[in-house]
Structure formats: structure tokens, C-alpha cells
Structure 1
Amino acid sequence: VVGDGAVGKTCLLISYTTNKFPSEYVPTVFDNYAVTVMIGGEPYTLGLFDTAGQEDYDRLRPLSYPQTDVFLVCFSVVSPSSFENVKEKWVPEITHHCQKTPFLLVGTQVDLRDDQSVLDKLAKNKQKPIALEQGEKLSKELRAVKYVECSALTQKGL
């Protein structure tokens, strides 16, 4: 799971694996989670690897990439800069290290699209939340397997 710092990568993983939403922001260095899912009546164990989005970890992070079966490239739908960085940083980084590994584009924090204080903050910078259609368009442009949106808080889309 890759993407800018504070877009909700860790919350997504914790909420998905434990059904609980973590209340505090703690920047991640590297963390692993495992969860068993049933697919076609067969149990599969998913190894989920969290990564640090902060620039301080740009040299360390790719060490976790070998043997990755699929990447989740995350951005926050209420952070236009994190959306830009999908194209400018994250997809180039994963394709440089793992050329043939597929990825999903994941828009996180969809519950904040309707949060008035978040909308006001964006409006001050002449910005708006990223629309579903923008995510779908970028997903096609970058050849992601799929575009999905979710909220770790409400568990919608997890």
C-alpha cells in the first residue's frame, strides 16, 4: 500500500483487518498485517504491507517492493496534491521497481467529501475534492486494474 503521508493508508489497513478505526495519526515506517479471506469457498491469506509515504523514506520504501503481487496506490479525495502525486511520484516509483506488477488506484477518506470544514479549507486554496470521475479517468490513463473509493472511518468500500 503506497501513497502520500496522511492519506489514510494505515487506517485503511487497520479498519479492514480489525474492523476498528484508529483515532490518532501515527506516521508509519513499515508495518505488516495479515488477514484470511474466502474466495470461491477457499481460504486465502492476504499479506498486507503498509509503507511510509513521507519523503524521508523514499530510499528505504522500495526495499519492501520485491515479491509484491499487487499494489494499492492511495490518495485522499480531499487532497488534490496527493492525487497529483499518484501520477508524478507513486506510479513511476512502483513501475520502476516492479514493472509488471498490477495496481489498483484507491481514493481514500471519501467520508470527508461532505465535511464542511474540509470543503472550506479546500475552497480557501481554490480547490475542490477529487470527483469519482477524475479518479476513474486517471486510473484508465495510468492503466490501473481498477479505481475504487473507500472510507476507513465508515468502512464504505473496504
Structure 2
Amino acid sequence: MAVARLAQPVNNLVRRMSMNTSPKSSKIDKQTEEKDTFKILLIGDEGVGKTAFCKMFQDKSFSKDYTPTEFGEFSAKVTIKNKEYTVNLIDTSGRHNLNRIRRLFYSDVDVFLVCFSINNYDSFRHIIEHWLPELEKESQSSVKKLLVGLKGDLFRSRSTSRRLIRRLTSRGRNVTWREMQKVGTEKSFDEVMICSSKEGSEQIEEVITRAIQITLGGTGNYARRRNPNSEERSKCKIM
């Protein structure tokens, strides 16, 4: 689809999101504490699972079929400590020919989810080579960001055969949890998490909840990192 054909619907979406976003605040103050609507932007390569993440959050549905997405808006509510929050997820295309349009959505974002696929090492490498440089150029340095490994069901080496792993990793080897931990620390991510849309909405809501908590003044949990293949791991891994 040509950029020209996308311009009008994209402008409408950008305008609508700007109206739904609370005013900026340079620090955690009363205004931040009373905030009840959050804009969360997903960025990352094509095909890593961003749209499936958004659909599971909003519709509680999962489809194995892959349909390339240009841009989309998803919305749902979450409750944290008896307070209800509205979350607007913006699903962006990973296509490089849409870079200019994607950057229109960077304004007034509360949290960025920088996404990659567990079974696609190239998508992880591109975070360093492309997505973080774009994020640093187009957003404020103080903006919160989470490193999110999608398709986490493929991470479970104990339940996934070597033959299946080889078939699923046609775009490169799997990403290891140590590599995620290293990038999370070196690139100052506020949190590093792994989840699977295929396994239900609970894991997706954990990521969203953590993103909101961090925005409201929480800190990262690097001290609680552990090997996600351990018996103690939760369904959604926080490293």
C-alpha cells in the first residue's frame, strides 16, 4: 500500500490519539498520580507478534494467520490496586518504507514496548541497529521503555523439540535470556519481559500492568531476574 493512500487514515488516528492523551509532565507529581489514560506504542520488526499482542489485549482472541499491519489502534481497561486505567495501544508497522509515518505516533507516548520475536534473532539485533536509534531520535530521553520478547511459548526448550526449534528459527537462532538481560542493562530499559499472545491474555495484561506501574513511578526489577527456563518462572517472565 502506498504511503499516499495511508496518509489520511493515519492523520485521523494521530489526531484522535492526541486528544486522548493527558498533558505531559516532566516529573512524577500529582498530575501523574491522577493520570488514568495511557498511550503505549509498540515498535519492532514486521512479523514479530505486535498485532497479536494488541488483539489479545483488546479482544482476548488469537489467530495463527499472519496479516501485515500498517497501523492500528487498540483500547481496553486494566485495574491496578482497585483503580481502573484506560490503555490505548498503538500497533505500528515495522516496514522501513513507512518510517516517516510511524514517527508521527511518537508524540505524547507514555511507554514504548520495543518488541522482538524470541525465535527471530535478527529482530532482536535490529533493536540495537534500528529501533533504539529511532526511539532516541524521536522521543524524550526520559520516556519509559520496556524490552519485550514475543512468542514466548517458543522459548520453552523443555517442551519444544530440537527439530521444531530448528524449523521455527528460519530467520536465525533463538534469543537467549542472557542476551536480553545484557541489552536491557546496557541500553537502560526499565524492564525486560517475555510473553506469549498464544497462551492467553493474562501474560499480555502483566506486561501492560508493569508498563503502567513503571510510568506511575515504579522501578525496574533487574534484581529479580532469573533464567526463564527455571521451575520458578511465571507464565510471563520478568528478568
Q: Does 1:106 align with 2:152?
A: no
Of 78, 81, 88 in structure 2, the residue corresponding to residue 47 of structure 1 is 88
> For residues 10-40 of structure 1, what are the alpha-carbon distances to aligned partners after superposition, in whole Å with 9 as ceiling and x for unaligned?
0011112221102321111110011111122
Tell me the residue number matched to 1:132: 177
Q: Does 1:119 align with 2:165?
A: yes
- Equivalent position amino acid for 2:62 in 1: F
Of 175, 181, 203 in structure 2, the residue corresponding to residue 157 of structure 1 is 203
Structure 2: stretches of 5+ with no match in the other structure: 1-41, 205-239
The TM-score with structure 1 as length reference comes to: 0.91
Alpha-carbon contact 2:120-2:169 (below 8 Å) kept: no
Identity of aligned residues (%): 31
- Distance 1:5-1:124 versus aligned 2 partners, 3 A rule: closer
The TM-score with structure 2 as length reference comes to: 0.61
Larger Rg, first or second structure (1 or 2): 2
| Residue aligned with 1:130, SS | coil
Which stretch of structure 1 is more off in the superposition, 131-140 or 43-52? Answer: 131-140
RMSD: 1.9
For residues 122 and 21 of structure 1, the distance between their equivalents in structure 2, rounded to whole angstroms, comes to: 19
Alpha-carbon contact 1:95-1:101 (below 8 Å) kept: no
Structure with more helix by fraction: 2
| Residue aligned with 2:166, SS | helix
For residues 77 and 34 of structure 1, the distance between their equivalents in structure 2, rounded to whole angstroms, comes to: 25
Structure 1: stretches of 5+ with no match in the other structure: none
Query: Displaced runs of 4+ in structure 1, greater than 4 A?
Result: 115-118, 122-125
For residues 76 and 168 of structure 2, the distance between their equivalents in structure 1, rounded to whole angstroms, comes to: 36
Tell me the residue number matched to 1:83: 124
Alpha-carbon contact 1:78-1:118 (below 8 Å) kept: no
Number of aligned positions between the proteins: 157
Tell me the residue number matched to 2:75: 34
